[in-house]
Amino acid sequence: MQQIAKIFSNPVGRKIMMALTGMLLVGFVAIHLLGNLSTFAGSAALNAYAAKLASLGPLVWVFRLGLLAIFGLHIYLGIQLTMENRAAKPEGYAVDKTLRTSFAAKTMIYTGLVILAFAVYHLFHFTLQTISPEFAAKANLDASGIPDVFSMVVQGFQQFGTSAIYVVAMVTLLLHLTHGIASSFQSLGLNNGKTLPGIEKLGKGAAALFFLGYVSIPVLIFVGLVH
């Protein structure tokens, strides 16, 4: 317990926790994308995948609570870090040090808060299924008698407003990860002057891949290529 308190009372400890929770969230984003891409394999594949997850029962709840704790800690530390940085840099300071950093780096707190808002919306949309109850998978079973997640996703993204919300959220995620992935390596001391440019490229490349993968789902459905 004392060890944990020590980590959180130390600014370096907090940065390390920020980086570790961020890396775990990136891991979730990667796994969730792989699962979601089964949308392109058709109705039977996506519905079977969703049914398999649901059949894991208590394990799903362990996973959900773990994810919630990691997400909550990441947000809490992010807000604290931003407030500390602001307090350390009084208004009207002659040189704005942030000018040397990128737009993505300067807007981490804002893109983070938009992703939080998206996550809440997304939970009501596809997990609780209360936003468009007429498309709810739990109320519409497919030919195999399992919840029709595929039709819920396709009918949802055929609506311009819904697809637009997801595309904007994915642009925000792209910005957040463009800086966040490389930054987590930096905070963990996993880079040096030599490896930094490579790690930055890797971070940006991974962020771009996540963006293209996720955004392709609403876009291809909206233009009618997946139905």
Angle, helices 108-122 vs 160-187, to 10°: value is 130
Q: How big is the chain by its Cα radius of gyration, in Å?
A: 20
126 touching ligand HEM, by CB under 6 A: yes
Binders of ligand HEM in range 151-210 (CB under 6 A)? 153, 166, 173
Query: Nearest approach, Cβ of 26 to ligand HEM (angstroms)?
Result: 10
Contact residue for ligand HEM among 23, 32, 45, 48 (CB under 6 A)? 32
* Residues 7, 18, 6: CA angle, nearest 5 degrees: 5
Identify any residues that bridge with 141 across adjacent strands, giving them in sequence order.
147
Identify any residues that bridge with 147 across adjacent strands, giving them in sequence order.
141
Of 182 and 218, which has the nearer Cβ to ligand HEM? 218
Query: Nearest approach, Cβ of 10 to ligand HEM (angstroms)?
Result: 29
What sign does the CA torsion over 30, 32, 33, 38 have? positive
104 touching ligand HEM, by CB under 6 A: no
Query: Nearest approach, Cβ of 71 to ligand HEM (angstroms)?
Result: 8
The site map against ligand HEM for 38-77 (x = CB under 6 A) is ------------x--x----------x-------------
Query: Nearest approach, Cβ of 218 to ligand HEM (angstroms)?
Result: 5
Q: Which of 227, 224, 86 is nearest to 154 (CA)?
A: 227
127 touching ligand HEM, by CB under 6 A: yes
115 touching ligand HEM, by CB under 6 A: yes
Q: Chain centroid to CA 198: how far?
A: 23
* H-state helical runs in the chain: 2-9, 11-36, 43-54, 58-87, 103-106, 108-122, 149-157, 160-187, 196-222
Q: Which residues bind ligand HEM (CB under 6 A)?
A: 29, 32, 36, 50, 53, 64, 115, 119, 122-123, 126-127, 149, 153, 166, 173, 214, 217-218
